[in-house]
Structures are given as structure tokens and as C-alpha cells.
Amino acid sequence: MIKRHSIKKIIKKTIIVSLILNVTLNAEADNENIYEHTCLPCHRYLPSSLGDMYMRYLKTFSGEATFKASLKAFLKEPLEQTSVMSDLFIDRFSVKDKSLLTDKQLDEAIDIYWNLYNVRNKLK
């Protein structure tokens, strides 16, 4: 009986903590941009960084417009065939789920991504 009561207490505490965390995280999300909010959380746990993936995309698609269009198309309809990642990577992590972002949000996120890793600004 005591054990059951303790478990209930733990659940209650967990829910409360979760709610508090959720509220806190949502509050933080308002200050983050859409790229950091929607892309980074998942990619953070992948062995290939977003920087590496950027370079893969760049090596495949070259120009800014081509790069952005291809990435947007992939995010909306992710396929193994259109992925630039290696077979080994896809076997292990599979392709991502379809993005639920709107076109405008996708464009915004991709623009941020492009500007973040753009080689033109970094080459010396």
C-alpha cells in the first residue's frame, strides 16, 4: 500500500516537473530561431553533424538556389534515393520523417542553415 502510494507520488512529481519543463522549454523556444528549434534537437544526437551534412549537400548541389531547392524537396519528401548521406548512415538511422513545417518555415530554416555554414564567408 505504501509502495503504491509512493509510486503515485513519484508520477505526480514527474508530471509536475514535466509540465514545468515543458513550459520552460516553450518559453525558451520563443527566443530561438526556427532552425535551432526544429533542426538542432534531433541532429544533436546524430554522429554526422549538420556542418558535415552541409558540406555533403554543397558537394552535390553546388549553387545556393540548387542547394536550397534540393534540401527543401528532401525535407518535404525524404527518400533514401534522394538522400546525400551514405548507405551505412541510412541503414543505421534511416531517413527522417516528413517535415511538418510550412513552406515559409522551411525556407526560413534553410536560409539560416545556408548562412550559418556558407563557405564564401569563411574562405581566406
Partner 1 sequence: MLVSKNKDINLLLSSEQSSLLRFLSLYAVLAIMILLLLGIFYYKSQEELMFSNQRIELSNYANEQVKELKLLHHYFPSRTEYPRSYNFNSAIYDIERVKIFSTLKNSDVNFDKEIYRIDNKIHFVKYLDDYYLGAKYLFLEVDEDDAWYAQTITNIIILGILTLIIMAIFGLVFVNILLRPMKNSIRLLDDFIKDTTHELNTPISAILANVEMMDTDVMVEKNKKKLHRINIAAKTVSHLYQDLTFLTLNHNQQSNNEWIDLKKLFEDRVEYFTILAGSKKITFTLDLNYSAIHMDLIKITRVIDNLISNAIKYNKRNGAITIVLRKEYFIIKDSGIGIEATKVSAIFERYSRFNSSEGGFGIGLNIVRSIIDEYGLKISVESVLGEGTDIRVDFLRASLGKGKSK
Q: Is 119 in the site for partner 1 (CB under 8 A)?
A: yes
Q: Residue 65, interface with partner 1 (CB under 8 A)?
A: yes
Instruction: From 18-26, 37-45, 90-98, 114-122, give the range in contact with partner 1 by CB under 8 A.
Output: 114-122
47 binds partner 1 (CB under 8 A): no
Q: Among the candidate windows 1-9, 20-28, 56-64, 69-77, which touches partner 1 by CB under 8 A?
A: 56-64
How far is the C-alpha of 86 from the C-alpha of 72, rounded, in Å? 19
Residue nearer to partner 1 on the CB measure, 22 or 62 = 62
Closest CB 34 distance from partner 1, rounded Å: 23
- 96-105: list long-range contacts, CB under 8 Å, 24+ apart: 96/42, 99/38, 99/75, 101/34, 101/38, 101/75, 103/72, 105/34, 105/38
Given the C-alpha cell 528549434, which residue does it identify? 37
